[in-house]
Chains A and B, each alone.
Chain A
């Protein structure tokens, strides 16, 4: 079955710097890759997603890139702010159905 690896497990950046989180997946049939942000005591919230027919997608300060050949995708956050501090999860699935999540990255943005 699908397996998703996520790195790093923790990431500390200064406010205004960029943050990059990377994930790899194993099942070449996966074609949907969402990123979720989870704040303390809350459920995961979708922040951006990408489908396999697209190589890059951007939404304001957040972007995701996908390399299907290498089976990896990355989340890029620019101009980080303290409110970006949270745990970020990548996931992979076929047609957004059964999501297989990575192990999470705890991002801390210091003022």
Chain B
């Protein structure tokens, strides 16, 4: 079974530029999560989708971050404009159902450096 795929793996941009990350979850997984992991910290949830609907985006800085999951499969996370403090690893995870005690499987992450 293929795992969660993410691209790009690395990205370097200057502040105030925009950037987008892509995630392809495990086939058949209805729930998709985006986490931000700052160096030396644990992952922090940004947004959670169930199929193509948003379940929780309470921690998403909506003035600069946006995310979508068209057709309930792939998802993109965008930052516009980027700030220095956005430098982090952006992790995508998926699970087969929501709230049912199912394991979240993580992708390798996209490492973002904002200069």
CA–CA, A34 to B56, complex, Å?
Answer: 20
Judged by a CB distance under 8 angstroms, whether A44 is at the interface is yes
In this complex, how many residues of chain A approach chain B with their Cβ under 8 Å: the count is 26
A6 / chain B contacts, CB cutoff of 8 Å: 42
Chain B residues within 8 Å of A, Cβ to Cβ = 4, 40-45, 48, 56, 91, 93, 95, 98-109
Given A96-B103, A96-B104, is A104 in contact with B41 using a C-beta cutoff of 8 Å? Answer: yes
CA–CA, A101 to B106, complex, Å?
Answer: 14
A43 to B48, Cβ gap below 8 A?
A: no
Judged by a CB distance under 8 angstroms, whether A98 is at the interface is yes
**Partner-contacting stretch, out of A12-20, A45-53, A55-63, A66-74:** A45-53
Interface centre among B40, B43, B45, B105 (most CB of A within 10 A): B43
Sort A-B residue pairs by CB-CB distance and give the 6 closest, nearest first.
Answer: A101-B42, A43-B106, A95-B99, A96-B101, A97-B99, A44-B106
